[in-house]
Amino acid sequence: MNLKYLTAFAATALMALAPALHAKEASPIPQSSDAFTVYSEVDDWTVYADADTQTCLVERADDLGNVMQMGVTTDHDYAYVGIFTLADVKIRKKEDIAIAVDGTIFLGESHGLKSKKLQGDYKGGYVLTNNPDMVTAIAEGSVLIAFPEDPVAFVIDLTGTKKAIEEARKCNAEMN
């Protein structure tokens, strides 16, 4: 599976997880100034503890340098998924998106941004969700496909996400 499409799909997936943004948070994504430490590594995922937000996130980079991140908001009410790429892609601030995880469709809105946290000229986006079915689907699924408004679909391999999510939950429990 092409990692460029995998990463782009993850970013789009993150965006699709956002049925509602928590009003008091401008962005669920941790800030570059936060104090991150490596909590653990699970397969090709790194689990980071963020001392500033008292939350944890998981991150994986593919062979092309694309990055997928997943975590929870500071209040733990929402989960987010983010995908960032160095590829020349057009990122919209907001766009409707459909995400299919092993055939189950989730509708949402993606939030695009240029990452200030990752080294380089990364672009991508995130999706927020408070839908436990979406989180379970990603954890237990094998393939995620995102369908933004553009006629391009992004495909993400979800191998290892369940272990990574479980480790992030353990990290979050220890942070609180």
| Domain extent listing, the chain | 3-22+36-175
pLDDT of 174 above 90: yes
| Strand, coil or helix: 66 | coil
Q: pLDDT (tens digit, 9 = 90+) per residue, 49-80?
A: 998 888 999 998 877 777 888 888 888 888 88
Furthest-apart CA atoms within the chain: distance in Å: 43
Q: Of 74-88, 109-123, 148-162, which has the strongest mean pLDDT? A: 74-88
- 42/90 Cα distance (integer angstroms): 32
pLDDT at 170: 95
Choose between 24 and 87: higher pLDDT: 87
Average model confidence (pLDDT) for the chain?
A: 75
Contact criterion met (CB below 8 Å) for 84 and 70: no
Global pTM? 0.74
Give the architecture (CATH level 2) of 3-22+36-175: Sandwich (2.60)
